[in-house]
Amino acid sequence: MNPPALRESRSVCPYCGTGCGVLIEHDGERILGVRGDPEHPANFGQLCSKGMTLAQTVHGSGRATVPLQRVAEETWQQASWEQSMGQIATRWAEIYRDRGPQALAFYVSGQLPTEDYYVVNKLAKGFLGTNHIDTNSRLCMASAVTGYKRSLGMDSVPCSYEDLERTDCLFIVGANVAYAHPIIFRRIEAVKAQRPELRIIVVDPRRTATASIADLFLPILPGTDVALFHGILHLLIWNDRLDTDFIQQHTEGWQELKQRVQEYTPQRVAELCQIAEADLQRAAEFFATSPAVLSLWCQGLNQSAHGTDNNVALINLHLATGQIGRPGAGPFSLTGQPNAMGGRETGGMPALLPGHREIANGEDRAAIAELWGVETLHPEPGYTAVPMFQALERGDLAAIWITCTNPVLSLPDRQQVERALRTAEQVVLQESYLDGETMPFAHWLLPAASWGEREALVTNSERRISHLQAAVPPPGSARPDWQIFCDFAHALALALDRLSVPLPDRKDDSWQQRALRMFSFRDTASIFAEYRRCTIGRDLDIGGLEIAILDRQGPQQWPFPVGAKSGQVRLYANGIFPTPSGRARFHAPVHLGVAEEIDARYPLRLTTGRLRDQWHSMARSGRAASLFASAEEALLAIHPQDARQYGLQEGQLVRVESRRGAALYRLQCDDSLQRGLLFVPMHFGSRYSPAALCNSVTQAAIDPYSGEPEFKHTAVRISAAELPWEAAALVEDDTRDLSAILRQLAQGFPYASITPLVSKHGAAVLLRVAAAQAPEAELAQRWDAALALFGPDTLLYEDPRQGLSKRLRIRGGRLTGLRLWGGLQTLDWLRQLLLEGTAIDAFRLALLAPRVPDNLGAWERSRGICACKGVDEKTIRQVIANGADTLEGVMQCCGAGTECGSCKPEIQQLLQSRLAEAS
Ligand code: SF4
């Protein structure tokens, strides 16, 4: 029989909001590879390290394939779809009957495609009558939404990626674009190379990889963004650099703002932000003298207890200078998730309705009620994410349906979230992956089809809608999320009729009739057709956009009304804004600082953020071993002088503690941080670094308008973790799911990290643990048994007096597994031998030595820099030492950065620091 033919399906990367087009190579059963779609206008064929490894993340163990019911603490039982839907629906119907719809809630995700968002919103608000539906976009984009709405009248991003190529000044604030949106950064790099006169200002408390390209870097104190923007505006006024015509004709509220910014003198702002006054002057000069200024921002502005203020204060600058609605100009918020924008369009938030409509607006409610065929919609906005879980803990909510998100790891104040989920009468988790941190709290797990396994529609940061084709079937009985919601609506209707629960109006004779009328969607196209009707006449009108057009003409930006030939590149070119007066609004917030100031007990500032090669809670990116090379463990970064001040050393385990809880990290000294600031990645959870969950420490302070939590600043203290005893195991991963076994072995240790690694012969997994004192010696034998490190092909060294023990497995003349107990002096050496598949027959007994024998050379572990080419930091440093003194020179010498280019900013940083040292 001939092997199945290979073919390609068009899709979009499911990670960040850049929305890069990908072509999936597959045989109809398995995804075999991906490449960037050369025709997609977001990326023109390029992909970053995460996108490049997508094919590794789809198949294999750890996928949810059948519905599961938790029957005891850690015991799950398979169920059919019919059983699970029937049982869940019965419980939800009882809650509805006894407590009403306001006891029911949904918590969904910015990764859900548009059709899923539309259907679940219709289910919650239209069918059940609860507005308690929020999305994890609350944690990243909500402040940008409220900022746009308050300033411009609608949540509509006015700019496009092509503005990157047409701007004269990029003002990048609170966004590590090089890590979080690498392909956008590639575009910026290309423009800068072509037009070195392009001015780039980067504002960030950390000197991130993005700052490597900056002409001006402003390392402001966390929480001083409003002061900075007011300070720039103050200078623009003082130097007569405003666009007074634009202010007069197209805005309102100027006088109040003008008065407000009088207080923000350059000297005061420089003090508040802790930057040089001359740098502030220079930023204002750049802004004032550049023909076109484009601002880019992301979570640095949004994840703040004053995130909306940060947004409106930045937009003020664009309005005051008329830098909006023109090529290369405007306030451009970068979206964190692949379809956060689609969620906003379809009303997937508690105060919204489809088509950028508001729950609180009677006309908007009436329009959608008519479209959905119900009498009325509930007029009160529902709970946003943080209050939703607080209501769950109080018992005001009884049941929650969580879809495609992991709140136990991603919401702030993890302890509270866990209490809330334990209190809930029913937690339904609809997921594609098993073993997320939320799964132990769920009563039901429903398997959802994932990327590549279903058709979908998504909208990226620049309002561009793409159509994703299905490439392969979902595993087991997993289904698209919209289909699960529709199935549930029908099951719920049956249960409500059985319990004789009356309908809220007379539009239907029974719940079942209503469900049949509202949820008989056949496919994505039928949902999209209904959703499009919600947009007609609105600012995001896509009445003229059909899936066939997307397939024929490629991805399109909204609006795309009936009769349009293509989407609209830029908004507000005519200076008319979707406010009642048609004018944009200035707002005049005051600088309020951070929600939790540092003090004598918690004297350090902790900020959180993304790594280059991981994404969110690592459910998908954690399945690609090569993505761990640049960050094997959750590290806490500290300025070297702060480390010295606290008597801490690079590589030691430290405890970081806030008023709410503590977490353990390995310490990394990093002079890109300002003094007094610590940084931890947001990604790691119980699967990879069980003690390093940053939301054990972060706070639930939220912005009053957007409800977005302040992830970017927490007052903390730091101390040595005092865990001197260490052990490790590194085993080649064959057909078994070794990570799961290693997770079991890690239990009971106060610190552990589990790291998938790439070896010459495939894959390997590393476990490291630490404790205050040595555990019972028999535990080492139990590790050996669990990891098959026993038998004639193993060597054993034991020194009971020193408490040291070492077990090595040698097969085919090379090391294939090891376990070190009580000391890790030889770990880096042995690890390298194992991963590189080195022939060790010539020195096999030397492997048992407690230290690396001198005659076998020096061994030093080095951080991976280039995930695509497998080049580490040591190699790059060597290349620089050998004379490479340009980025291109380094790339040419060692190959790093020549594939996806995601590591180029780090190579540049290494180069800059080495050249600075040398001079
Ligand atoms: S920049 Fe990277 S992660 Fe983001 S969409 Fe493109 S390939 Fe995916």
DSSP, residue by residue, 576-622: --SSTTSSEE---PPP---SS---SSS-EEEEEE--SS--TTSTTGG
What does each C-alpha distance from 352 to 118, 129, 785 come to in angstroms?
12, 14, 56
| Three-class SS state of 720 | strand
For the residues 861-866, what does the mean pLDDT come to?
83
Ligand 1 within 6 A of CB of 177: no
DSSP, residue by residue, 186-198: HHHHHHHHH-TT-
Ligand 1 within 6 A of CB of 13: yes
For the residues 505-522, what does the mean pLDDT come to?
97
Strands 399-403 and 104-108: parallel
Q: How far is the CA of 183 from the centre of ligand 1 (A)?
A: 6
For the residues 413-442, what does the mean pLDDT come to?
96
Rounded to whole angstroms, the Cα distance separating 727 from 769 reads 5
For the residues 390-402, what does the mean pLDDT come to?
98
Ligand 1 within 6 A of CB of 20: yes
Q: How far is the CA of 187 from the centre of ligand 1 (A)?
A: 13
Ligand 1 within 6 A of CB of 181: yes
Q: How far is the CA of 159 from the centre of ligand 1 (A)?
A: 19
Rounded to whole angstroms, the Cα distance separating 306 from 256 reads 19
Tokens representing residue 65 in the block: 């394939």
Q: What pLDDT was estimated at residue 874?
A: 87
Tokens representing residue 188 in the block: 């910026």
Q: How far is the CA of 336 from the centre of ligand 1 (A)?
A: 10
Q: What pLDDT was estimated at residue 380?
A: 97
Residue 736 has pLDDT above 70, yes or no: no
Q: How far is the CA of 161 from the centre of ligand 1 (A)?
A: 14
Q: How far is the CA of 867 from the centre of ligand 1 (A)?
A: 15
- Closest approach atom of ligand 1 to CA 615: 3
Of the pLDDT bands very low, low, confident and very high (cuts 50, 70, 90), residue 873 is confident
Q: What pLDDT was estimated at residue 240?
A: 97
Residue 2 has pLDDT above 90, yes or no: no
Q: How far is the CA of 474 from the centre of ligand 1 (A)?
A: 23
Of the pLDDT bands very low, low, confident and very high (cuts 50, 70, 90), residue 190 is very high
Amino acid letter for position 174: G
Residue 785 has pLDDT above 70, yes or no: yes
Of the pLDDT bands very low, low, confident and very high (cuts 50, 70, 90), residue 79 is very high
Which of 13, 34, 188, 616 for a ligand 1 pocket mutation test, highest count of atoms within 8 Å of Cβ?
Answer: 13
Residue 890 has pLDDT above 70, yes or no: yes
Q: How far is the CA of 370 from the centre of ligand 1 (A)?
A: 39
Ligand 1 within 6 A of CB of 620: no
Surface-to-core class of residue 854, CB atoms within 10 Å of its CB (0-12 exposed, 13-18 middle, 19+ buried): exposed
- Read off the pLDDT of residues 565-597 as tens digits, 9 standing for 90 and up: 999 999 999 999 999 999 999 999 999 999 999
- Closest approach atom of ligand 1 to CA 49: 2
For the residues 493-507, what does the mean pLDDT come to?
97
Whose Cα sits closest to atom 6 in ligand 1?
Answer: 20
Q: What pLDDT was estimated at residue 737?
A: 76
* Among 445, 376, 429, residue whose Cα is nearest residue 125: 376
Average pLDDT score over the chain: 95
Burial profile 58-76: b = 16 or more Cβ within 10 angstroms, e = fewer: bbeebbbebbbbbeeeeeb
- Closest approach atom of ligand 1 to CA 42: 6
Residue 125 has pLDDT above 90, yes or no: yes
Q: Which residue has the higher pLDDT, 234 or 842?
A: 234
Q: How far is the CA of 344 from the centre of ligand 1 (A)?
A: 20
Q: How far is the CA of 47 from the centre of ligand 1 (A)?
A: 6
Ligand 1 within 6 A of CB of 51: yes
Which of 161, 181, 185 for a ligand 1 pocket mutation test, highest count of atoms within 8 Å of Cβ?
Answer: 181
For the residues 16-34, what does the mean pLDDT come to?
97
Beta bridge partners of 79: none
- Closest approach atom of ligand 1 to CA 47: 7
- Closest approach atom of ligand 1 to CA 46: 7
Q: What is the Cα Rg of the chain in Å?
A: 28
Please answer whether residues 295 and 328 qualify as being in contact, where contact means their C-beta atoms are separated by less than 8 angstroms: no
Residue 861 has pLDDT above 80, yes or no: no
Q: What pLDDT was estimated at residue 857?
A: 63
| Three-class SS state of 755 | strand
Angle at 122 between CA 119 and CA 126, to 5 degrees: 160
Amino acid letter for position 519: F
- Closest approach atom of ligand 1 to CA 183: 1
Q: How far is the CA of 43 from the centre of ligand 1 (A)?
A: 9
Q: How far is the CA of 19 from the centre of ligand 1 (A)?
A: 6
Q: What pLDDT was estimated at residue 60?
A: 86
- Closest approach atom of ligand 1 to CA 338: 5
| Three-class SS state of 256 | helix
Amino acid letter for position 257: L
Rounded to whole angstroms, the Cα distance separating 178 from 211 reads 9
Range in 255-264, 386-395, 737-746 with the lowest mean pLDDT = 737-746
Q: What pLDDT was estimated at residue 87?
A: 98
Ligand 1 within 6 A of CB of 48: yes
- Closest approach atom of ligand 1 to CA 902: 2
Q: What pLDDT was estimated at residue 770?
A: 98
Ligand 1 within 6 A of CB of 36: no
Place of tokens 């180069």: 911
Residue 855 has pLDDT above 80, yes or no: no
For the residues 364-393, what does the mean pLDDT come to?
98
Of the pLDDT bands very low, low, confident and very high (cuts 50, 70, 90), residue 719 is very high
Domains of the chain with bracketed CATH: 7-57 (3.30.200.210), 68-139+339-557 (3.40.50.740), 142-333 (3.40.228.10), 596-722 (2.40.40.20), 723-852 (no CATH), 864-918 (1.10.10.1100)
Ligand 1 within 6 A of CB of 489: no
Ligand 1 within 6 A of CB of 17: no
Q: What pLDDT was estimated at residue 779?
A: 95
Whose Cα sits closest to atom 2 in ligand 1?
Answer: 48
Please answer whether residues 421 and 413 qualify as being in contact, where contact means their C-beta atoms are separated by less than 8 angstroms: no
CA atoms lying within 13 Å on the CB side of residue 751: 28
Residue 856 has pLDDT above 90, yes or no: no
Which of 18, 22, 43 for a ligand 1 pocket mutation test, highest count of atoms within 8 Å of Cβ?
Answer: 18
- Closest approach atom of ligand 1 to CA 43: 6
Ligand 1 within 6 A of CB of 18: yes
Ligand 1 within 6 A of CB of 334: no
Q: What pLDDT was estimated at residue 61?
A: 87
- Read off the pLDDT of residues 320-373 as tens digits, 9 standing for 90 and up: 999 999 999 999 999 989 999 999 999 999 999 999 999 999 999 999 999 999
Of the pLDDT bands very low, low, confident and very high (cuts 50, 70, 90), residue 851 is confident
Percent of the chain with pLDDT over 70: 99
For the residues 601-622, what does the mean pLDDT come to?
94
For the residues 457-485, what does the mean pLDDT come to?
98
